[in-house]
Structure 1
Amino acid sequence: MSSTTRMNSGMSAETNPLRQVSLDQLRLRTSEKWHVYPDDVLPMFVAEMDVLPAEPVARAITDAIARGDTGYPAGTAYAEALAEFAVKRWDWDGVRVERTAMMPDVMRGIVEVLDVISSPADAVVVNCPVYAPFYHFVEHTGRRVVEAPLSDGRRIDLGSLEEAFERAVRHGTRPVYLLCSPHNPTGTVHTADELAAVAALAARHGVRVVSDEIHAPLVMPGSVFVPYLSVPGAENGMALMSASKAWNLAGLKAAVALAGPAAAADLARVPAWVQEGPSHLGVIAHTAALRDGGPWLDDLLGGLDANRRLLADLLAEQLPGIRYQPGEGTYLAWLDCRDLGLGDDPAAVFLEHGKTALNSGPSFGTGGEGHARMNLATSPELITEAVRRMAAAVAAATSG
């Protein structure tokens, strides 16, 4: 282990969820992260964490299996747990169970919400570079995506956003702004003032706001997550939340859609059969995570914060040509590799010459060229090895 790893690895393996699973154990997994590439490739791409389940989550699932509780989801336990979590974590008492609906997952929930507040003839505004499935899912519904690039500081650019709203209004009568909060891939955590300005701008142009808040629990020390529905002017907005990212429950699908008071009637029009789509075990797991998984989440956030600092140190030592601004939220690192001269898709170079799989920057839309996204939700040792391989890849790709 390098001196940088020793200094920045943070908490012990006993408390840090990111240091409890060996590489050999990870290789036994059959999920996307550990299945797509051959064993000589180090996967640092898709948003899966290299952790074991939080104990309350594992217990809730095994107890459900033991009693044969594997039927269809029902009830409001998930929404109630989310309401309790929001008060404890964000000091926000705005989750009203009667204004929520269970969804199969966040992206499916976004599609269902789009269907009740807009038509395929309408446009959807996104802040690029942004989570690639925003493009895929929206375009699959027949809607047009209108891009509003982030500022050079990776924050919402209100001038760019207003211009995009104006284009969207010309395209259809019920435009939507799909907000990513916290933002993926940059890790930007939007402030209350920024979100209030967004709400005012949206109201002025007749744009409905739908906020993807799946990464909301994953905000680093020193930053504060602000729910979009908590800001003035957001009364006709909607949000999608889930425990899936923060507790690594992507394979146990479930999510909650939340409506502001002026959007409750819209949410009520989502078909009942959609709300039967989540995994019942997923609902049980997510509910347990929100209610009893707080201490595990705190340990995870500590480990992620140490990993962010470790990556910054390693890049400064071995790949100073990569510009890395640690995000305030998520467990994703957005790497600006343009100074390395590796072309529009540096992830392809890291894979070919370094056997390290990162997400391709161009897949995140305009502004992604020359960038790559790295998943930091792993051990310090694997981050160290990934940077070593990436540095070797750059040397190999540029030596001739």
Structure 2
Amino acid sequence: MDIASNDDHPLRRLTLDQLRRRTSMKWRTHPDDVLPLWVAEMDVPLAAPVARALTEAIAIGDTGYPAGTAYAEALADFARERWGWDGLAVERASIVPDVMLGVVEMLRLVTGPGDPVIVNCPVYPPFYQFVTHMDRRVVEAPFGPGLRLDLAALEEAFARSTDDGGRAAYLLCSPHNPTGTVHTAEELSAVAALAGTYGVRVVVDEIHAPLVTAEAAFVPYLSVPGGESGLSLMSASKAWNLAGLKAALALAGPAAADDLARMPEEVGHGPSHLGVIAHTAALREGGRWLDAVLNDLAENRRLLAALLAEQLPAIAYEPGPGTYLAWLDCRKLGLGDDPAAAFLARGRVALSAGSDFGTGGDGHARLNLATTPEVLTEAVRRMAKAVG
């Protein structure tokens, strides 16, 4: 394949046979007769600028340890161009191995063992796994109507978590996984105000930030009034399908600079140098490719909605403006708490089990729609047959 030409419909370029040659988690967890629409990997070729940067680095043996601020500088320029945000300060950015390991390090800075960490459920399962593994306790603040932040529930969780005078953190997912919710500036400002009132430190996973539709607008948490004391994690990995090339950035608001400065120096040893090169190239030169992906995702959202309406009308699906994930309410199908298990066993389609996403997840499934229209169409056909 000519990598120079893959800006044109990245989600339509690879055949199922080509995809099955991959050896990543998505394509090796299940047998070959299963269509994998679960883990967050995209079925796309590598963006040409990223492929070139990696090829050039390998050609000169540039495979040592990461150094410098090129990644942070590229992200700062991307944020200015895409989101109109010029507040990403390179001096308040630190490289970390990936977003979730960065989350762990940020939570260690602002909480201690046994302290509460508030999350909005349903939410990305590693939020539960990583938080409990580091000896913190999860406090849930469920989403409200329309799968949006419930500020009353959030305030109640903040109050309950700090009523003994101890420390607490709020781990916010923005845009939200699995619902695709994109939080507004007003919502995030209200969050910051509540956090200030109750003394809760906000740590934000913003890994899906570039993956927002044209009809919505991603708002960096650190850009809103009151967000100055926040800590954010960003990466190019989701938007350019670079999960296997480890690198992310921890960002601090002006009032959190001293917190970030306390992060152990050895944390910065974990990222891959090739990962830093790839992520930097994506942010610097991968804008056209990203726009093509966003267009393909918009078409896939429309396709999925039409297919479900026609073949599985009992499934409730409201396309979210963020991420490439679809949150399917399957409770009317009568498949119990784990409809993903039935779709896998009877239809040979792998989705993520909604119950893994905490309260509000039972009876739901998460579908990764970053695939070809052909695979998406066949997956829904199989799912319909599984319940027919």
- 1:174 is displaced (CA, Å) by 1.2
Once residues 281 and 128 of structure 2 are traced to their aligned partners in structure 1, the CA distance between those partners, rounded to angstroms, is 32
1:220 maps to 2:213: yes
Query: Paired residue for 2:190, among 187, 191, 197?
Result: 197
Once residues 292 and 328 of structure 1 are traced to their aligned partners in structure 2, the CA distance between those partners, rounded to angstroms, is 24
- 1:172 is displaced (CA, Å) by 6.4
Letter aligned with residue 146 of structure 1 = V
Matching residue of 1:341: 334
1:42 maps to 2:5: no
Query: Paired residue for 1:260, among 253, 256, 262?
Result: 253
Once residues 356 and 290 of structure 1 are traced to their aligned partners in structure 2, the CA distance between those partners, rounded to angstroms, is 33
SS of the counterpart of 2:227?
Answer: coil
Aligned-residue RMSD, C-alpha: 1.1
Matching residue of 1:115: 108
Matching residue of 1:269: 262
Matching residue of 1:313: 306
1:131 maps to 2:124: yes
CA contact (8 A) 1:123 1:172 kept: no
Q: Deviations over 1:43-67 (max 9, x none)?
A: 0000000011100000000100001
Letter aligned with residue 253 of structure 1 = K
Once residues 276 and 31 of structure 1 are traced to their aligned partners in structure 2, the CA distance between those partners, rounded to angstroms, is 24
CA contact (8 A) 1:56 1:289 kept: yes
Matching residue of 2:175: 182
Structure 2 spans left out of the alignment, 5+ residues:
none
SS of the counterpart of 2:170?
Answer: strand
Q: Deviations over 1:13-71 (max 9, x none)?
A: 87110011110011110000000000011100000000111000000001000010000
CA contact (8 A) 1:130 1:365 kept: yes
1:366 maps to 2:364: no
Matching residue of 1:7: none
- 1:170 is displaced (CA, Å) by 3.4
Query: Paired residue for 2:150, among 131, 134, 157?
Result: 157
1:206 maps to 2:187: no
- 1:221 is displaced (CA, Å) by 1.7
Matching residue of 2:90: 97
SS of the counterpart of 1:282?
Answer: helix
CA contact (8 A) 1:235 1:260 kept: yes
Once residues 6 and 75 of structure 2 are traced to their aligned partners in structure 1, the CA distance between those partners, rounded to angstroms, is 29
Once residues 26 and 303 of structure 2 are traced to their aligned partners in structure 1, the CA distance between those partners, rounded to angstroms, is 22
Letter aligned with residue 10 of structure 2 = P
1:235 maps to 2:260: no
Query: Paired residue for 1:352, among 345, 353, 374?
Result: 345
CA contact (8 A) 1:121 1:172 kept: no
TM-score when scaled to structure 2? 0.98
SS of the counterpart of 1:68?
Answer: coil
Matching residue of 1:294: 287
CA contact (8 A) 1:122 1:172 kept: no
CA contact (8 A) 2:311 2:384 kept: yes
Once residues 130 and 158 of structure 2 are traced to their aligned partners in structure 1, the CA distance between those partners, rounded to angstroms, is 20
Once residues 93 and 377 of structure 2 are traced to their aligned partners in structure 1, the CA distance between those partners, rounded to angstroms, is 42
Please identify runs of 4+ aligned residues in structure 1 that moved more than 3 A.
Answer: none
CA contact (8 A) 1:345 1:370 kept: yes
CA contact (8 A) 1:13 1:19 kept: no
Q: Deviations over 1:224-271 (max 9, x none)?
A: 000000000111111000000000000001000000001000001111
Letter aligned with residue 70 of structure 1 = T
Query: Paired residue for 2:138, among 145, 148, 173?
Result: 145
CA contact (8 A) 2:7 2:288 kept: no
Aligned in 2, Cα 1:56/1:188: closer, same or farther, shift over 3 Å?
A: same
Structure 1 spans left out of the alignment, 5+ residues:
1-11, 396-400
Aligned in 2, Cα 1:393/1:64: closer, same or farther, shift over 3 Å?
A: same
SS of the counterpart of 1:257?
Answer: strand
CA contact (8 A) 1:176 1:210 kept: yes
Once residues 160 and 103 of structure 2 are traced to their aligned partners in structure 1, the CA distance between those partners, rounded to angstroms, is 21
How many residues align structurally? 384
Letter aligned with residue 268 of structure 1 = A
What is the identity percentage for the equivalent residue pairs of Structure 1 and Structure 2? 71
Bigger mean CA deviation after superposition, 164-173 or 19-28? 164-173
Matching residue of 2:239: 246
Matches within 5 A, 1:71-86: 71-86=64-79
Aligned in 2, Cα 1:172/1:178: closer, same or farther, shift over 3 Å?
A: farther
CA contact (8 A) 1:130 1:184 kept: yes
Once residues 10 and 318 of structure 2 are traced to their aligned partners in structure 1, the CA distance between those partners, rounded to angstroms, is 24
Matches within 5 A, 1:366-385: 366-385=359-378
Q: Deviations over 1:145-171 (max 9, x none)?
A: 000000121000001001111121136
CA contact (8 A) 2:117 2:137 kept: yes
Query: Paired residue for 2:384, among 370, 387, 391?
Result: 391
Once residues 286 and 98 of structure 1 are traced to their aligned partners in structure 2, the CA distance between those partners, rounded to angstroms, is 19
Once residues 294 and 29 of structure 1 are traced to their aligned partners in structure 2, the CA distance between those partners, rounded to angstroms, is 25
